[in-house]
A and B are shown apart, each in its own frame.
Chain A
């Protein structure tokens, strides 16, 4: 099998490695769901996926198209309700959540509401929070998978839909969000980014194979910090790519979009 891989395969493989066994993750469709399915098949067989509409513990045989469709509780533990998922989050029983968004800022704040114009008359309206604000408010660790470019990685999001570290260290707690929660990793086609523990600003933690720090900076509209232990991301392994292509998404619904 070829070890060539596209950006989506790279992001899914890298993101999946951050999901530990015996934890609970609330996921969206597409990349996050593929990363979860891959983690379950590669190193985390007891990773439990919970979905916003209530499904939990599915033994996923096919990628769901909606976070509420019947695939999300296929051979699962419960089909549940939205309140079940939201309450588990609010009680602190969800380790990870997995989000995307149109814009992200240095503190991991996310915009999925609009860009351009004003709130009342936006140039481009996006769906809004959905459950993203709730997931980002309550999950212990928020993961983001997103393509990296200067229009997405901005100094200030035009609308703060879902909370990252808000204004920096202590910002979440001051706003009333549960202590100890917040952004964890951002996985892009170029790098893995994390957050500086002192300032809660985004920093580069590892560069994907063949990618320079300058390329990551060029794809970012704000000043990026760099980890003292800057590493090279391990490329997707043959095993990861095989599982991804033959078991997770054999039809190439998402990984070859």
Chain B
């Protein structure tokens, strides 16, 4: 039987010994890792490296860290497009990416497609290898398990397989067909969580999406958190630790750090601001001014928040998230 192999390129080394060698040089001590977004990105995200983001596109994404990548002008990045929506849109705004494992890109679910992200992809300037969300998840999990691949039945029989870098194999026990998907170990993962201590022990409320696999698979992990908590808080409920310190290289405290995304239990997505992003992308000069006002020309993320409604808007988004009816009695 001839081998059936996807046409796509593998952008990262699937060899588990590469990740082992990386970890062997890294200290595993329980040491404080608190820093700023600016410093973490300057130190860990270099031009050309392969990046993954946590969350689910418009939910619990590390917006503040992604803004910093754009502000510092990183170029030639590889990217893990695992249900990436607003995160992909931000990186596309300044064409930071030149290769991408694509499972879900250029769209923002029900909100529509990003005109600018589409322009970038349709121009051919980003090399794509196609996957499904589960296939990308198993690729990350393979790396997290110290393996070089995992078998899955996703993608079989489709053009998604043809444009992937998967290889059709037979199970040695059942002789059934599977798609072998290569381990994916990102150079850097950017995650946003609810709470972390100074060592990088992280708690997440609600769905963990694929963050545990992203964190475990990546060579370097930068975490931003809504708030820093004491190590006592972590140790008082160890069953709540979603990501332990030994996977984490830097911790940054950024309240509202996922805005305009939804932070479960904290604030809902800002649909007004996301709609503004989508509409302003249609006009090149308006888009340039928008980026200057919101990302390039601000000192830090707090200034971005202030320019988009500040604490009053955050309060509204909190009430929306908690489904609290804020109408004043007797008023429409």
Q: Which residues of A contact B (CB under 8 A)?
A: 29-30, 52-55, 61-62, 65-70, 72-74, 79-83, 86, 89-90, 109, 113, 117, 119-134, 137-138, 159-163, 166, 171-172, 174-178, 254
Contact = CB atoms under 8 A, between A and B. Distances in A.
A125 B114 CA distance: 10
B104 interface: yes
B209 A81 contact: yes
Nearest to B322: A70
A113 B159 contact: yes
A176 B155 CA distance: 10
Interface string B97-119: 00000111111011101000010
B206 A163 contact: no
Contact of B206 (A73, A121, A128, A172): A73
A121 B110 CA distance: 25
A161 B152 CA distance: 16
Contacts of A123: 122
A66 B109 contact: yes
B183 to A, nearest CB: 16
B294 interface: no
Contact of A82 (B110, B121, B128, B209): B209
B56 interface: yes
Contacts of A53: 56, 59, 83, 207, 209
Nearest to B124: A121
Contact of A131 (B113, B134, B264): B134
B122 A122 contact: yes
Given A70-B321, A125-B122, A127-B106, A175 B132 contact: no
Contact of A66 (B57, B159, B168): B57
A72 B57 CA distance: 15
Interface of B: 55-59, 81, 83, 85, 102-107, 109-111, 113, 118, 121-124, 128, 130-135, 137, 141, 152-160, 163, 168, 176-179, 206-210, 212-213, 262, 264-265, 268-269, 271, 321, 323
Contact of B209 (A54, A121, A126): A54
Nearest to A127: B107
A62 B137 contact: no
Given A68-B83, A129-B130, A134-B154, A121 B56 contact: no
B264 A70 contact: yes
A177 B154 CA distance: 8
Given A66-B269, A83-B137, A161-B160, A125 B118 contact: yes
A131 B132 contact: yes
A126 B269 contact: no
Contact of B121 (A54, A125, A133): A125
B122 A30 contact: no
Nearest to A74: B323
Nearest to A30: B110
Contacts of A67: 56, 109
B207 A29 contact: no
| Closest 10 pairs between A and B when the two form their complex, measured CB to CB | A175-B157, A176-B177, A68-B56, A127-B107, A130-B104, A133-B132, A70-B264, A54-B207, A134-B134, A86-B134
A113 B110 CA distance: 16
B163 A119 contact: yes
Contacts of B160: 113, 128-129, 133, 160-162
Contacts of B102: 128
Contacts of B176: 176
A174 B58 CA distance: 38
A101 to B, nearest CB: 12
Contacts of B106: 125-127
Contacts of B104: 127-131
B119 to A, nearest CB: 9
A134 B107 CA distance: 18
Contacts of B264: 69-70, 79
B107 A52 contact: no
A62 B210 contact: no
A160 B223 CA distance: 37
Contacts of A122: 121-122
A128 B102 CA distance: 7
Contact of A68 (B135, B163, B207): B207
B131 A129 contact: yes
B134 to A, nearest CB: 4
A70 B262 contact: yes
A173 to B, nearest CB: 10
Contacts of A171: 157
28 contacts: A52-B133, A53-B209, A66-B56, A69-B262, A70-B262, A73-B207, A81-B209, A82-B56, A121-B124, A122-B121, A122-B122, A124-B118, A125-B106, A128-B104, A128-B130, A129-B104, A129-B132, A130-B104, A131-B83, A131-B134, A133-B158, A133-B160, A134-B132, A134-B134, A163-B156, A176-B168, A176-B177, A177-B156
Nearest to B176: A176
A160 B132 CA distance: 12
Nearest to A166: B157
Contacts of B83: 52-53, 68, 130-131
A121 B122 contact: yes
Contacts of B124: 120-121
